[in-house]
Structure 1
Amino acid sequence: MKKVLITGATSGIGEALCLHYQALNYVVIACGRQQDKLAKLAAYDNVSTIAVDLCDEQQVMTQFAQLGRLDLVILNAGSCEYIDDVKNFDGQLFARVMNTNLIGTGYCLAALLPQIPAGGQLALVGSSASFLPFSRAQAYGASKAAIAYLARTLALDLKSQNIDVSLVSPGFVKTPLTDKNDFSMPMQISAQQAAVEIVSGLEKRVFDIHFPKKFTLILKALSLLPDRWWCAISTRMLSK
């Protein structure tokens, strides 16, 4: 049986991925901070859980030590906070988001990469928000842009180790995190639909997994426009 470790497993995409891989008869290691949710996941066959704060380096190194062969690692944990008053930039908010989305990912890589064998896979969950600059997303967007760059460099350097890397860039997915958003979220899909897209892309060992395609391809196309054009479009949208 193949073994998959998933961070951010107690809600949203992470939880959906755990249940999907469990149904595919994987050994699943579900990681998160919500003890009650972890207990529910542990009730499933072939699912074990690890309670861990990914922003705590010592916890990560201790809890993730000696897990044995990991055929697939999906680093999915993340948070989102918006900077509403950019003139009074909230440095503490920025640090919180960076620590959760980026620094915590680095701790996970330090602990888990040695346990991924040749032929294994690593997936980092970024966001389609990294394709273009969006209002109020200075912290979230910057953290996910960093994840995208990190995934690309890991793919280059792990190729010689025969480890495939994938970057997952979802559009709007209905989760407890996006339920807090106070703006329109076009072409939003469910966490279960997102899990299907991710599992399919990972089975094919695709590097760039993005969805829903109708939405993400529009963003990718817009990202090719000159910056001044996109800035004008964005300003016009904000003024409505």
Structure 2
Amino acid sequence: MNILITGATSGIGKQLACDYAKAGHHIVACGRNEQALAELEQRFPDTIAGQQLDISDKDTTIQNLRGYTDIDLVILVAGVCEYLDIDNFDADLFARVFNINVVGTMRCVEALLPNLKAGSKLVIVGSTARLLPFTRAEAYGGSKAAIHYITRSLQVDLEERGIKVLSVSPGFVETPMTEQNDFEMPMQVSVEYASDFIRRGIDKNRLDITFPRTFGWFLKFASLLPQRWQLALSRRFKQAT
């Protein structure tokens, strides 16, 4: 397969790129870190081609991605996380997070969608943070809730074109991004686990790839509870941070 992955210079995106390359697939690895891209190309000279990409920049994102016309699988991983300080409320924080996690991701879709053919797969990575109102996660969780809704709508609108759209909702994964967290992260998994779970879900065309399973099941069940109960759970999580 020909596979394009954003956020491929660290974390889940990097592990996916490496694992798919090991399996003999051809990868376009996209990311901001040119040195990390060069290291991937050196490690997998026959299967990985780096593409410098900053999805916060509209013009260069469209220009850099529009030329890829033979892609079987797109995995949009790139994203950021910032937590809100409620005592110093900052609307610009929301703009930064949404500009990457939602608008930037959709810029990639805008650039790549015209060249996707029947049988192609579009995979968009969100987060289980969308399922409950977690403390300080107003911007991050809100952006992931938005991207999940958009992904589900794309499933409807692209079905008649034969393009499969899959949603990925990871829990806590050991990445450079989560290393910055200053709170307990229950059921945290490795990037190797995340990559394996995502790749198996893609192979099986699962519309909703949520992991780890127990954590995902718990949060999905909690999201169905009355709002008062959800708030009570969220308070418990807040007290634990």
Q: TM-score range by the shorter chain?
A: over 0.9
* Post-superposition offset of 1:12: 0.3
Aligned to 1:185: 185
Aligned to 2:19: 20
Distance of 1:160 and 1:134 partners within structure 2: 36
Secondary structure of the structure 1 residue equivalent to 2:206: coil
Structure 2 letter corresponding to 1:183: F
Structure 2 letter corresponding to 1:220: K
Aligned to 1:103: 103
Aligned to 1:61: 62
The answer as to whether partners of 2:171 and 2:215 remain within 8 angstroms in 1 is: yes
1:215 aligns with 2:184: no
Q: Mapping of 1:135-146 within 5 angstroms?
A: 135-146=135-146
Percent identity between the aligned chains?
Answer: 48
CA displacement, residues 100-137 of structure 1 (integer Å, 9 cap, x when unaligned): 10110111011001121100100000000001110000
CA displacement, residues 4-55 of structure 1 (integer Å, 9 cap, x when unaligned): 0000000000000000110111110000000110001112121101101101
Cα RMSD of the aligned pairs, angstroms, is: 1.0
Unaligned runs of 5+ in 1: none
Unaligned runs of 5+ in 2: none
Aligned to 2:7: 8
Secondary structure of the structure 1 residue equivalent to 2:68: coil
1:70 aligns with 2:71: yes
Moved over 4 A (4+): none
Q: How many corresponding residue pairs?
A: 238
* Post-superposition offset of 1:94: 1.1
* TM-score of the superposed pair, with normalisation by structure 1: 0.97
Distance of 1:228 and 1:198 partners within structure 2: 33
Secondary structure of the structure 1 residue equivalent to 2:146: helix
Aligned to 2:81: 80
Aligned to 1:47: 48
* TM-score of the superposed pair, with normalisation by structure 2: 0.96
Distance of 1:229 and 1:67 partners within structure 2: 47
The answer as to whether partners of 2:132 and 2:234 remain within 8 angstroms in 1 is: no
* Post-superposition offset of 1:65: 2.1
Aligned to 2:167: 167
Structure 2 letter corresponding to 1:198: I
Distance of 1:20 and 1:34 partners within structure 2: 19
Secondary structure of the structure 1 residue equivalent to 2:210: strand
Structure 1 letter corresponding to 2:128: S
Distance 1:237 1:195, change over 3 A: closer
Aligned to 2:36: 37
* Post-superposition offset of 1:221: 0.7
CA displacement, residues 174-203 of structure 1 (integer Å, 9 cap, x when unaligned): 000000000000111111110000000000
Distance of 1:233 and 1:61 partners within structure 2: 42
